[in-house]
Structure 1
Amino acid sequence: MKAETIQLKFKDDGTIPNSKLPLLIYKNVFSEEKANADFITKHFEDRDWSNSWKNGVYDYHHYHSNTHEVLGVYSGYATILFGGEEGNAFSIEEGDAVAIPAGVGHKLIQASEDFGVIGAYPNGMSYDLKKGNPEERPEADQNIEKVPLPDTDPVYGKMEGLVSLWREK
């Protein structure tokens, strides 16, 4: 199941804190027959990424200061702006997954009508919702510093992906 993994880093832009850890885009990790909501939800759960939700990415800049997040696309495609207003827009499509470190901003730019996505969190963490408002910091910065590195990668498990890539940072 090894596929292309894109790493992106974003600096604090004064509004969105972002992270020293790279955002990871796993291209085409779920084949067509496996790119369905139930399969991806179970796949993440088997790797201790749970508290999942189905469908939709907010169309405004936001981030989570108390947990990392994974997105798994099971249908359609979308363009998401990562890293805040000065970040990078990337297209993700059926079969892709994205590991978003705590603090990294994300915003839906556009999506196909059939865009379907699963979101989940390491160890079933509950997530907060931050929008980049000045009053959210420095508490958000303190929260981000305390978020532990996950024991498992949501796609590859214990041996690859963010387990090694994030520990090197």
Structure 2
Amino acid sequence: MHLDRRRFVTLLGLMALLPIPRLGFADPREVAMDTLLIDKPDGGVPNNSLPVLIYHRVIPPDAVDNADYLEHLFRSNGWPPQWRYPVYTFTHFHSNTHEALGVFSGTAKLQLGGEHGKIIDVKVGDVLLLPAGIGHKQISADEDFMLVGAYPPDIKADLCHDELPLLAARTKAVKAVPLPATDPVTGHSEGSMLVWHKS
């Protein structure tokens, strides 16, 4: 069939209505989210006035590889993934960065906030966004419990222990950590882009 100018323009108009694949980008998805405020120090753990964000069912049911999916999601949203590992079984925190933890296998009980902190259950598809200074440790876990860990760009997370004599200096360091430019799960909208920027 001869394609004259009028048919060509019509065809272009129809093509504009077709969905364009977003290869290389994370799909924006509505996910349920809880917040947990841990704003008081616990021993040598400073914690933070920003709430912990806990996203649920982040991994879609048709994901081929859960870990790959989370790494792609974090990377696409400006949070380069840096490791796959469980959570340390001692209380620790980071004074120089916020941290995203995505569960890709198993279940666990984690304690947030320090030795007197709240114990929460996490499972596959959960993502925790921990503000700098929030204490965390693994209380118990399945043998296959594993996470993807990610931080904002160009960050090498420090590893701080619960040490009361260092609390003042670490609290000051935590307060100096800037808000992230993007959210590891939702990108440029929702999540920490709303909740943390309002805090």
Alignment partner of 2:98 out of 63, 68, 78: 68
Stretches of structure 1 lacking an aligned partner (at least 5 in a row) = none
TM-score of the superposed pair, with normalisation by structure 1: 0.95
- In the other structure, the counterpart of 2:30 is 2
3-state DSSP of counterpart to 2:197 = coil
Stretches of structure 2 lacking an aligned partner (at least 5 in a row) = 1-28
More helix by share: 2
1:73-152 map, 5 Å: 73-152=103-182
More strand by share: 1
2: CA distance between counterparts of 1:111 and 1:51? 22
- The answer (yes or no) to whether the contact 2:101–2:147 under 8 Å persists in 1 is yes
| Cα RMSD, aligned residues only | 1.3
3-state DSSP of counterpart to 1:86 = coil
- In the other structure, the counterpart of 1:14 is 43
- Deviation of 1:51 after TM superposition, in Å, equals 4.8
3-state DSSP of counterpart to 2:180 = coil
Tell me the matched-pair count.
169
TM-score of the superposed pair, with normalisation by structure 2: 0.81
Deviations 1:15-63 (A, max 9, x none): 2110000001101111243361122112101111115110121000000
- The answer (yes or no) to whether the contact 1:68–1:122 under 8 Å persists in 2 is yes
Larger Rg: 2
2: CA distance between counterparts of 1:146 and 1:124? 16
2: CA distance between counterparts of 1:166 and 1:135? 29
3-state DSSP of counterpart to 2:151 = strand
Q: Which amino acid aligns with 1:6?
A: D
